[in-house]
Amino acid sequence: MSDINNKQDLPLAGIRVIEFTHMVMGPTCGMVLADLGAEVIKIEPLAGDNTRRLLGSGSGFFPLFNRNKKSLALDVKHPQGLEIVLKLVAGADVFSENFKGGVMERLGLGHAALAALNPRLIYVSHKGFLPGPYEHRTALDEVVQMMGGLAYMTGRPGDPLRAGTSVNDIMGGMFGAIGVLAALQQRHATGRGQQVQSALFENNVFLVAQHMMQFAVTGKPAAPMPERISAWGIYDVFTVAGGEQIFLAVVSDTQWALFCAAFGFTDLAGDPALAGNNQRVQARATLIPELRRRLAERPAAEIAAVFEAQGLPFAPITRPEQLLEDPHLLATGGLAPMALPDGREARVPMLPLSLDGERLPLRRPAPALGADGDSLLAELGYDEAAIAALRAEGVLA
């Protein structure tokens, strides 16, 4: 087994990524590549990525999605700032951006220009829509959830509801990273880079594809999830002793027998009208209220213990902040200690995968603004005097 905590043993060691991104989608792509070992250089304006200053629900964006990266703060509209970026791109493997259409071209950093400079470059763009009738629109995660069927499926009838996290931004960035990995593999054969595009709307459509195909197969529109006809007899949240809630599932006839035996529900186990899952689905209108009544006075922990002992599916209703103390995540390396921008220590969730039995490491927290400017410019051949001059001219932070 390799020592995956050694940077040189990470899968993308030696791959250099130049990143012009902000918010969530583009930074997620860079985070995935960085976690896999790529050197990701985040190019920021002199005042810094605006994401650094978000409040409320956006306050966690920057430290999460920009870990394992370097920061170079430049005025890329200045000829010398652009020159620095082009020097970096000339030796890079990947260029990543998520700005509105035309922004990169106006800066002189569009795909055509950079591909001419470096034919091996993989250029990944993260947009609201892939090229087509909608590409001129401004998209946000919530916009595409509403127009892409996800909000309809999540909410109750007449009450569309966005998902409780930035699902399209995050998955859109992940698909951008997948495209980069595919393009890197293809480059082994062709020797050339290519353009990769990922988009919020198309990602959202992929998320609801199962419901689209449900209609194609059955001819019946999918009902919103709160109103759906469940495929399983028991697949619900139950309110139990002390007002606690727990999700319980019994999805096979074998599990039904185990469930009834474990809780002493011999009358239900012997009822021929409940013998099969489809029969229990048809009996949900009376079965679920009866199970709610029988379980109402039992503590959630007691029910969970029974379900765990029997190998039955269950879940506590957990708030995100509680996951920071989750024993499984702590035991398996799913959380890593990381310094926040203000110096406080926190735990951050890592990529949900392991390689050769090892979790991918946190090598560095999200960078301070311009933290790597001197070292990167020195690598490009700028001496101390030249770097100082760039700062004095307002090109470099």
Q: Got the DSSP string for 242-254?
A: GG-EEEEEE-SHH
Q: Which of 283, 228, 230, 278 is nearest to 253 (CA)?
A: 278
Could you tell me the CATH number of the domain that includes residue 261?
Answer: 3.30.1540.10
Residues 167 and 242 grouped into a single domain: no
Type and span of the H or E element at 18: strand 16-20
Instruction: Please name the residue that has the structure tokens 């920057």.
Output: 62
**Does 292 share its domain with 387?**
no
Kindly provide the residue ranges of all beta strands, DSSP E only, lying in the chain, ordered along the sequence: 16-20, 39-44, 69-73, 94-97, 122-127, 195-199, 234-239, 245-250, 314-316, 335-339, 345-349, 354-355, 358-359
Task: Tell me: do 276 and 308 sit in the same domain.
Answer: yes
- Residue 248: inside a domain: yes
Local confidence pLDDT in tens for the 397 residues of the chain? 344 555 668 999 999 999 999 999 999 999 999 999 999 999 999 999 999 999 999 999 999 999 999 999 999 999 999 999 999 999 999 999 999 999 999 999 999 999 999 999 999 999 999 999 999 999 999 999 999 999 999 999 999 999 999 999 999 999 999 999 999 999 999 999 999 999 999 999 999 999 999 999 999 999 998 887 788 999 999 999 999 999 999 999 999 999 999 999 999 999 999 999 999 999 999 999 999 999 999 999 999 999 999 999 999 999 999 999 999 999 999 999 999 999 999 999 999 999 999 999 999 999 999 999 999 999 999 999 999 999 999 999 9
Tell which of 276, 292, 319 closes a domain. 319
CA distance 275 to 280: 7
As for how many domains the chain has, the answer is 2
CA distance linking residue 114 with residue 110, whole number of Å: 6
Domain boundary residue, one of 292, 319, 346? 319
- The alpha carbon of residue 131 and the mean position of all alpha carbons in its chain are separated, in whole angstroms, by 23
In DSSP terms, which residues pair with 315 in a beta bridge? Answer: 247
48 plus 167 within the same structural domain: yes
Distance of CA 176 to the CA centre of its chain: 11
Residue 225 lies in a domain: no
Q: How far is CA 191 from CA 116, 121, 122, 338, in A?
A: 14, 10, 11, 38
Q: Which domain holds residue 79?
A: 7-208+327-392
224 domain residue, yes or no: no
The answer on 379 and 288 residing in a single domain is no
Let me know whether 29 and 126 are in one domain. Answer: yes
199, 126 contact by CB (below 8 A): yes
The answer to whether position 77 is within a domain reads yes
Helix, strand, coil % (nearest 5) of the chain? 45, 15, 40
Closest by CA to 140, choosing from 97, 201, 197, 99, is 201
The residue out of 319, 337, 356 marking a domain boundary is: 319
The reply to whether 180 and 46 lie within a common domain is: yes
65 and 190 both lie in a single domain: yes
CATH classification at residue 87: 3.40.50.10540
CA angle, 66 then 371 then 333, to 5°: 40
CB neighbours of 193 closer than 8 A, spacing ≥ 6?
93, 115, 118, 119, 120, 121, 122, 123, 183, 187
Domain annotation covers residue 265: yes
Q: Are residues 132 and 281 in the same domain?
A: no
Co-location of 70 and 163 in the same domain: yes
CA distance linking residue 313 with residue 235, whole number of Å: 9
As a whole number of angstroms, the distance between CA 376 and CA 366 comes to: 17
Residues 314 and 332 in one domain: no
195 and 98 fall within a common domain: yes
Assess if residue 155 is contained within a domain. yes
Structure tokens at 84: 């620095």
The answer to whether position 217 is within a domain reads no
Under 8 Å between Cβ of 80 and 395:
yes
